[in-house]
Chain A
């Protein structure tokens, strides 16, 4: 379990928001590059605020 946790932390930096946002962005890519980009950028902002909230 600890190894899984370490690997998750290594890949995501311990963020919950980033992987979820990324999956949403990939699913939304069918609506075009603007929507994909908007979701990716929003993911960054949300991920940065994740620690503050």
Chain B
């Protein structure tokens, strides 16, 4: 399988999560101190790096490729469905759209509360670590499912991290214009398709078109998600 598919998926998944983390880090930098915000961020990135560095090889040696695919595939399906159904709910108006400006203002207010004094490092660390944890799991599972794909998998996440960090440093403001819901839907489709494909391979199923089935799955899942979203929206409008 093309490593670019894995790199693209981890790039978008990481990008969306790091945009949310950047809002928290920016709030810490603005309300507390930039040094504290950067220290918390670096500590969280280091913790996530250790997690990927230990988890990747550990999972990769957990058994035969089929066994690993059977462990990893269902996780990716669960994550993919999670991302995709939230996107469908947002499109249908059942869940509010993520507003980075509002999240930034909320976080700023919380950090300026005297009761929260001295928590800047912990808030920055927790923000980056929690948002990055799902990405770390995705990177590790990708790397385990395809021998030799760790570099592609990590590469996509690192490029996203650098892009978001540079943009955040340049703007010094939350990313209000990033189409987060569309990106989350895209990542959901990719995770869901990869998870379904790998679980099938782990179960010894013979996919009709070999590796090319992955693209058919992705298109089919995207169409089904779009139809479900439209139906939910219509139902809500008619209610």
Mark A residues whose CB is within 8 Å of B: 10-13, 15, 18-19, 22, 25-26, 29, 32-33, 36-37, 40-41, 43-45, 47-49, 51-52
Contact = CB atoms under 8 A, between A and B. Distances in A.
Contacts of A26: 74, 199, 203
A33 B207 contact: yes
12 contacts: A11-B78, A15-B82, A15-B85, A18-B78, A18-B81, A25-B199, A26-B74, A33-B208, A37-B196, A44-B84, A48-B89, A51-B94
Contacts of A45: 224, 228
Contacts of A11: 75, 78-79
A18 B217 CA distance: 18
Q: Is the interface of A mostly helix, strand, loop or mixed?
A: helix
A19 B78 contact: yes
Interface string B59-90: 00000000000000011011101101110110
A48 B74 contact: no
B78 A22 contact: yes
From B200, B206, B235, name the one whose CB has the most chain A CB atoms within 10 angstroms: B200
A13 B188 CA distance: 13
B199 A44 contact: no
A47 B82 CA distance: 9
A13 B85 contact: yes
A44 B78 contact: no
Given A33-B206, A45-B228, A52 B235 contact: yes
A29 B203 CA distance: 7
A41 B74 contact: no
Contacts of B86: 13
A44 B75 contact: no
Contacts of B199: 25-26, 36, 40
A49 B133 CA distance: 27
A18 B192 CA distance: 12
Contacts of B235: 52
B85 A41 contact: no
B39 interface: no
B205 interface: yes
Contact of B221 (A10, A44, A48): A44
A52 B78 contact: no
A47 to B, nearest CB: 5
A12 B85 CA distance: 11
Q: Give the top 10 A-B pairs by smallest Cβ distance, nearest first.
A: A13-B82, A48-B85, A29-B203, A33-B205, A48-B88, A44-B81, A18-B81, A48-B228, A40-B196, A47-B81
A36 B232 contact: no
Given A10-B134, A33-B205, A33-B207, 6 more contacts: A13-B78, A22-B74, A40-B199, A41-B224, A44-B224, A51-B89
